[in-house]
Structure 1
Amino acid sequence: MQSSTSDPEARLKARALALGFDAAGIARADEAIWAPGARLKEFVALGRHGEMAWMETTLERRSAPTAMWPGARSALVVAMNYGPDHNPLDTLSETETGNISVYARGRDYHDIIKSRLKQLAGEVAQITGAEVKVFVDTAPLMEKPLAQRAGLGWQGRHTNLVSRDLGSWFFLGTVLTSAELTPDPEGADHCGSCRACLDICPTNAFPAPYQLDARRCISYLTIEYGGPIPAEFRAPMGNRIYGCDDCLAACPWNKFAAHASESALFARAELKGPGLDELAALDDATFREVFSGSPVKRSGRDRFVRNVCIAIGNSGGNSGQGRLVASLLPLLGDASPLVRGAAIWALARLDPARFAEEKARRQPSEHDRTVTAEWDETPA
């Protein structure tokens, strides 16, 4: 990319690419009217954020970039490709293994992107002499609308960002600055009449195009939601144990996407198709060890093993059924009621005769009422 010393925007975007980002663009961050903020307020008012209370408590700060930092004038938004080397939909039929979302199979992207963003922010400060702040989706900043305004793509019908060059597989990072930078043209919507992302969703999580009800989304249910998986969503989860890639993988624009070039984002071999029986055996210490440096760690052992049990319950009829049934038995008495309940449901679904046997054996009259209720729940 050519740049001149009199063109700070070109210099900054060239520097972003040199640091390993795959795209960079600039947006205004101080617009008087920030329509995405109004849409977010409606999303929360409808309760579609589910248990993500942090969205509600930080709603005003999320309403516009200047609501979080009044000094923000421009945003340098960058993208880093994490495109997989396979079609994630293919692994949904491998029912003895757990399906982990593509983005979570490598190292935690927050660490990778943030370190480079800090370098980029230093360049922004040096070139412009202005203040800077760095963000990688853990702060109350609506990065996808900013990325669209910076020309990196558009928010598709599934509400995620889509790029004509990178498809659906990329992370975002933002450097906000008090510098007045010239913005790039906003990304245009190229979804057309396509409904692939909406139609493939196994839980019908999209009430309408460009709208998401997180309470029905498998990514939310497997990562953010802390209770028992609602019965209506258990079977549709299939073998998805952390996140869901269906709406991303279905996007036709992915035919132009390249594989990730950043080696730290490559899938770890043990996370490409981990055996459900092995994952069911994880205690807290082993879980932390196995998923050290991985986004999966944030879900915690109990939530994760809950998801594994649901996947085992959905694995009926395969060659490993006996092995998977055996992996459930120790979890029937797990210290976590979240895990116990999921294991009981999975056993009832996978092996009704063994379920009846275990229920009769484990329910003496003086048994804890909570555990008794778990066994009495009608499996869906």
Structure 2
Amino acid sequence: MIKSIKRITAAVLFVSITVSSMFFMTSCKKKGTSSKNRIVVFNYGDYIDQTLLDKFEKETSIKVVYEEFLTPEAMYTKYKNGAVDYDLICCSDYMIDKMIKEKEVKKIDYDRMKYIKNIGKKYWNLSKSFDRTQEYTVPYYWGTVGILYNTKMMDYVPDSWDALFDKKYKNNIIMQNSVRDSFIPALVRHGYSINTTDKNELKTALDDLKMQKSIVQSYLVDEIRDDMANNQAAMGLIYSGEASIAQDYNENLEYVVPKEGSNIWMDSWVMPKSGKNYDGAIKFLDFLCREDVAMTNFEYIYYSTPNEAVLNQIDDEEKAERNAIFPSDDVIKRCKIFSYLGKDAEEYYNNLWKELKVY
């Protein structure tokens, strides 16, 4: 039974938990509360069932100070600012790749995690592209990037990235307000890698995005899900999990990963080197891998889970109906994970993105 409807209250929860987190962190500094009695967690917005934080606290007597961010880049900036000593951060593959290469994370003692066995081997293999020695991460959720479209507003299936550049759908296209994600269609439609650093290829992609800008309704992130569910656009570039949630609210929505290929992403947990409570962080990671906890979280988030104990409880019919979060092997084969491309390439991408925004 899908319970993603609970996520409607995310904005309220985000405000309340952020306020309570700030109060708790302030009170801790004033009263000198030991770091052994709390962990500080940094995660994407609306990316955990909040009831699980209370459950963990009741089971372990460890307080969870919880903060949220919108994009990997925003996370990294705040983390590097050093104002908060995070014990755990959940983020995307390429940013984790960057943090590992910069030696910003600690090794995880998997031997202390009873339930780590629930994470399937295929997902560990997927994470090797950014955690090459398999020492620094715990897989959380994964998925693809594709096109969510309204069958009542389109007269063809957008199974090619070219659809997002179709002038026929002017002001009916939503793009991601994210550098790497928005470059996917523009690169892959030309046969270029999503990890290219070739300036000529990137210039070609930028030219496409500039041309496309005049027909794009908006550049959004989480709001794409809601706008598509409310018939605000014909199609949008979206993460598979968000697409699946939108489909719960609008029966006319379908999701497709274009035939040219796309991005397959893996969000994982890491332990920043600045964290103060290693033992508490290990306990929280193991807690998230536990079958009952992972199932509760899956029913709330409803993204593709790497937890085999949860997957074994989902029947084949539901998997077949939910192609967005249960993609076929064929879809997976034509998708690639983002890599961290180095400081110079990262800066170049960001400059291209700024150029697009002011175009």
Q: TM-score, normalised by structure 1?
A: 0.24
Q: TM-score, normalised by structure 2?
A: 0.25
Q: More relative contact order in 1 or in 2 (CA 8 Å, sep 6+)? A: 2
More strand by percentage: 2
